[in-house]
Every structure is written in C-alpha cells, then in structure tokens.
Amino acid sequence: EEYGGVCLNWGCVPSKALIANAHLYEKALAGAEVGIKVSGVELDVNTMQDWKNGIVKKLTGGVRGLLKANKATAIGGTARITSKNTVEVTSSGGKQTLTAKKAIVVATGSATIQIPGFEFDGKQIIGAKEAVSLREIPRRLLVIGGGIIGLELGTVYQKLGSQLFVAEALPHLLGDTDPDCTRIVERKLKKHGATIYKKALAKSYTKNPDGSLAVTIEVEGKPEVIEVDMVLVAVGMRPASKNLGLEEVGVTVDQRGFIPTDARCATNVPGIYAVGDVSGPPLLAHKATKEGEIAAEVIAGHKAAKDWVGMPGAIFTDPEIASVGMSEAEAKDKGIEIKVGKFPFSVLGKAMAMRETDGFVKVIAHAESQQILGVHIVGPEASAQISEAALSLEMAAFVEDVMLTVHPHPTLGEAYMEAAAHAIGQAIHIQNR
C-alpha cells in the first residue's frame, strides 16, 4: 500500500514508537519511587496512535522523496517476472511491460503467517499489522507465539494495561536467542503478571455470550482453556515469493519459499537478484538494506559481497536483547574452546541511576587467541550498545582491544568493557573467577 515495506509501515518503526510510549507511561506511573509524584496520569490511545502514524507518514514521505531525488520511477502495481529481463506490471491503469537493461531485483519482503482455526478477522483475531494500530487496549490478550514480534507487542499492551497470556510451541521463548538472555525477559514478564505457556499449541476458540473468547490450548498434551478478549497471532513471517513468475523463468525457490542467493545476492538465473526477507534469514531490516546496497554495487560492476560475521540483531522486549556473532552453543558445536565474561547491570552506576538494572553483557572469546567471537546483551538500551560489539567483530578485535578502549563513566557502555576484561580474568569492578 505504501513505500517502505513491512518495517516502516507496520513493523519495526510503528512498533518501536509504541514501545517507547509504553515505556514512558510505565515510568510516569512509577515516578513516585524517586520523588516525582504525578497525579492524573491518563492513557489516550487515539492520540498515541495518531502520533505514531505521523512518524510513519513522515518516513514514507522521505522514501518517496529519495526516489524522486534519485530520478527513480516508482510504479504502484502488482509485478510478475515474465522473462529473464522483463517484468509485467498490473495497475489501475492496466498492464505494462518493463524491460531491464541490466538486472531485475526481487525485494518483495515477507508476510505474516496465519494458522488454521485462527484466521484473522481484524477485530479479535489479529496479526502484527492490526496490533500496531489498536484504538482500544484489550483487557485480556493472548499472544500465540513467544518470538520477537509476539513478545515485543505483548509487552507494549501489558504495560498499557492488558492482562497478558503467551502460548509458545517451543520449550523456550525467543527461538535461538541466548537462553541466559531470554530468562531475564521471561522473569520480568512474569513479575508484571504475564502467564506464559511453553510447549503449548493453540487448538481452537469459541465466542462467549459476552463477546469474549474461550481459547483452547494444549500444554504438553493437556488441554487448557484461556478466557481472553483478543488473540494476537505472531508465529513468524513467510517469504512473499508466490505469484511472481519465479518458477516460470527458472529461479530456484526452496521448500519454505525463500530464494537462495550467493554472496553477491544473485539467484541461479543470471541477471536476477534477490534481497531482504524473500532471500532468507535473518529477517532483519538492516540486513535487507545492506543486501540492497550489495546488489546495487554488483549490478553497477563493482566488487561487493555479503559477510555477516558482524550482523547484529536486536529485540525490543523489556529489557532489550541484542546480540552479534556466535553464541556459546554455536562455538561449542564447532569445537572452539572459549572463554566467557559477564558483567551485570545491577552493579553499574548508570543502570542504577536509570532504575534499569536487569540483565548483563556477555562476551564470548576464543580461549587461546582471545579474539572476540560473540557478544550478547540483555538490559537497558541493548539495541544501542550492540553496535560497538558489531564493530569489534567486523574488525576481528581481541579482548584487549576493548579493554584498552577508554569508555566514559558513568555509561552503559562500560559494561561491555568490563565483560571483556572478565572473560580473561582481568575485571576491575567485579570479582574474577
């Protein structure tokens, strides 16, 4: 419907706007703890949504402006590849065929996965697209799926007043995220009243006379009924690769619908490239942007290739989680001897001043060379802190490089320096093992 894709229109940007507002609302309610007594704090959801929509509108307008400034022709319509160098576009004005002189780039992104029995109705059974635009806070919200999208949006509505239920099919939340990090997030969700079911499958629902929903879930094989007012289905995203004409022109599509590409973002068909979510995990906006840059460089005849050793990821739960590089499990699976350093935010002055002391920074280093292999952060502003760690991996930094970099005091960034030092037994502000 609009330029900017999922991220800008109903993904990353609007959800982070709501997350920021929910955090502010929570802080306002708790201000008395530090002597800031605010009375009459009220939640105006309509104003919040209008403000969020204003941000989205400004950014989508920015995309349009960039396209125009770079003399790109933007066409609103449905596209289908008809040959190795032609695309048929169907729009309100009819059909037209575009001929590519150099290349075709597929950047169709991904779409929300629906599950049988819980088809979206836009009112009580919703997906992420509807969840970022609610004009009323549900009294009781069930989130099916304990992944990134589900927990981020679930946290928003929990802070804004919803009683939160989460049903996750796996034995743990947040997929492959460092389990030490997810435990911190799960603990805080429960502390604030969330009910979390793991090894749980959503089976069906019925509507009660009062309009609420009775949802049946199966927890480790045993049925249980949850009474809620709204269900958010957040079980992941699927590649938007159907009906593009890919198979007809010979482009390989895997069993999950992703388009395999090489390091240059090229498909198996010369002249056709794929970037972003449609080309496979990780499904991250910044990964998609970087792939777009790489494909453009390659098409222009320059040398460029993917190298994701320093590809960070961020999860905007409470507290936030961010990571880059290997996990402990990945290193061990590869037979790499490692040293692990940890520094908790509970002993960091800046975190105390912010009243956000949950979590830690974990540094994984090669046992012999002390090269940094991975960094995992759960805590305040983890998403902002991870960039230094990503640079460390990109530059193949060693623990000593981080230790010798003077970090200003008091800041959250000191935790990374301390965790690096702790990995080799040289921490100053925490006991070494």
Whether residue 21 is found in the same domain as residue 53: yes
Q: Is residue 280 domain-resident?
A: yes
Structural domain ending residue among the three candidates 188, 203, 235: 235
Whether residue 35 is found in the same domain as residue 136: no
Structural domain ending residue among the three candidates 171, 201, 235: 235
The residue range of the domain holding 316 is 310-423
Which pTM was predicted? 0.96
Whether residue 86 is found in the same domain as residue 9: yes
CA distance 176 to 17: 26
First vs last C-alpha separation in the chain: 56
The torsion angle over the Cα atoms of residues 6, 56, 132 and 176, rounded to 10 degrees, is 50
Whether residue 102 is found in the same domain as residue 249: yes
The top-scoring range by mean pLDDT among 4-8, 27-31, 227-231 is: 227-231
Least confident of 37-41, 243-247, 322-326: 37-41
Q: Is residue 119 domain-resident?
A: no
Burial classification of residue 425, based on how many CB atoms lie within 10 Å of its CB (0-12 exposed, 13-18 middle, 19 or more buried): exposed
- Which of 192, 376, 407, 409 is labelled catalytic? 409
Taking residues 143-168, report their average pLDDT: 98
> Is residue 203 within a helix (H) or strand (E), and if so which, with residue range?
strand 200-207
Residue 65 in this model has a pLDDT that exceeds 90? yes
**Confidence category of residue 433, pLDDT binned at 50, 70, 90:** confident
Whether residue 131 is found in the same domain as residue 224: yes
Q: Is residue 291 domain-resident?
A: yes
Residue 1 in this model has a pLDDT that exceeds 90? no
Whether residue 278 is found in the same domain as residue 225: no
Category of 17 on φ-ψ map: left (φ > 0), alpha (ψ -120 to 50) or beta: alpha
3-state secondary structure of 96: strand
3-state secondary structure of 278: helix
Taking residues 385-408, report their average pLDDT: 98
The torsion angle over the Cα atoms of residues 351, 356, 357 and 359, rounded to 10 degrees, is -110
Our answer to whether residue 429 is catalytic in this structure is no
Q: Is residue 114 domain-resident?
A: no
Residue range 169-213, pLDDT digits in tens: 999 999 999 999 999 999 999 999 999 999 999 999 999 999 999
Structural domain ending residue among the three candidates 196, 211, 235: 235
Whether residue 211 is found in the same domain as residue 176: yes
Residue 430 in this model has a pLDDT that exceeds 90? yes
Residue 96 in this model has a pLDDT that exceeds 80? yes
Residue range 142-155, pLDDT digits in tens: 999 999 999 999 99
Whether residue 221 is found in the same domain as residue 291: no
- Token pair, residue 183, equals 């435990």
Whether residue 175 is found in the same domain as residue 101: no
Q: Is residue 373 domain-resident?
A: yes
Mean pLDDT over the full length of the chain: 97
Whether residue 133 is found in the same domain as residue 173: yes
The torsion angle over the Cα atoms of residues 236, 240, 243 and 245, rounded to 10 degrees, is -140
Q: What is the pLDDT of residue 2?
A: 86
- Token pair, residue 93, equals 């004005």
CA distance 54 to 425: 50
Whether residue 326 is found in the same domain as residue 382: yes
Overall number of domains in the chain? 3
Q: Is residue 166 domain-resident?
A: yes
Residue range 104-122, pLDDT digits in tens: 999 999 999 999 999 999 9
CA distance 75 to 117: 36
Q: Is residue 220 domain-resident?
A: yes
Q: Is residue 407 domain-resident?
A: yes
Whether residue 174 is found in the same domain as residue 185: yes
CA distance 136 to 130: 12
Task: List the CATH number of the domain containing 345.
Answer: 3.30.390.30
Task: List the CATH number of the domain containing 267.
Answer: 3.50.50.60
- Token pair, residue 341, equals 């350093």
3-state secondary structure of 42: coil
Q: What percentage of the chain carries pLDDT values higher than 90?
A: 96
